[in-house]
Amino acid sequence: MRVSQSLVPFAIIALVLSFVNAYDPSPLQDFCVAIDDLKGGTFCKDPKRVDAKDFFFSGLNMPGNTNNQVGSNVTTVNVDQIPGLNTMGISLVRIDYAPHGQNPPHTHPRGSEILVLVEGTLYVGFVSSNQDNNRLFAKVLHPGDVFVFPIGMIHFQVNVGKIPAVAFAGLSSQNAGVITIANTVFGSNPPIYPELLARAFQLDASVVKELQAKFGSI
């Protein structure tokens, strides 16, 4: 089958865009251990100085402190904790939930998430985009169950059991980022105009100001 010469430039552009749109840089060597000192444009630690501790983290066996307003704690293991994750496009978290605690609605702008429940009972879900009519995809999870949250989708978890719950999640980025919806909307610095939020959320401006006072102090 002969490919039209007129299609070749488009094929090349498509190929280039597939690389440009990658969320994390792909490695061009065995590893690229991140370093803080970027003098001279050097982003990788000298491979000869790399050792096992650059790929190691200890502590995910320890429960996080859930004594807070939402009743949960996220222990993050990304490139900030393991510099050897640099360019690998993966990271990990442990999430602890007190009874009735929640990981409130949030989104990861740079990565999808796959969560496995190891203890307790969780109600989890995500909401699709406006284009998909904001459909809710939700399940009750039991130990051994797995659920996926697509990149950028607002999602949540809540402990619906009477005992603490523990989950582990992998993310498709060395630093997926997190945007907690309530904190972001009502706790921005400086605050968003209350009148704007009042109309957007169909609330009285006084209610918005009360929420901003609450989340702005967190």
Residue numbers belonging to the annotated binding site:
103, 106, 108, 113, 155
Binding residues for oxalate: 103, 108, 113
Look at residue 211 and give its three-state secondary structure: helix
For residues 2 and 5, give the distance between their C-alpha atoms in angstroms, rounded to a whole number: 9
Distance between CA 122 and CA 141 in Å, rounded?
5
CB atoms inside a 10 Å sphere around CB 69: 9
Sign (positive/negative) of CA torsion 76, 18, 147, 159? positive
**Placement of tokens 């809540």 in the chain:** 158
Task: Kindly give the residue spans of alpha helices, DSSP state H, lying in the chain.
Answer: 8-20, 181-186, 194-201, 205-215
Can you list the alpha helix ranges (DSSP code H) found in 115-204? Answer: 181-186, 194-201
Residue 120: left (phi > 0), alpha (psi -120 to 50), or beta? left
The annotation places the binding site for Mn(2+) at 106, 108, 113, 155
3-class state of residue 57 by DSSP = coil
Q: How far apart are CA 10 and CA 74, in angstroms?
A: 44
Beta bridge partners, 152, equal none
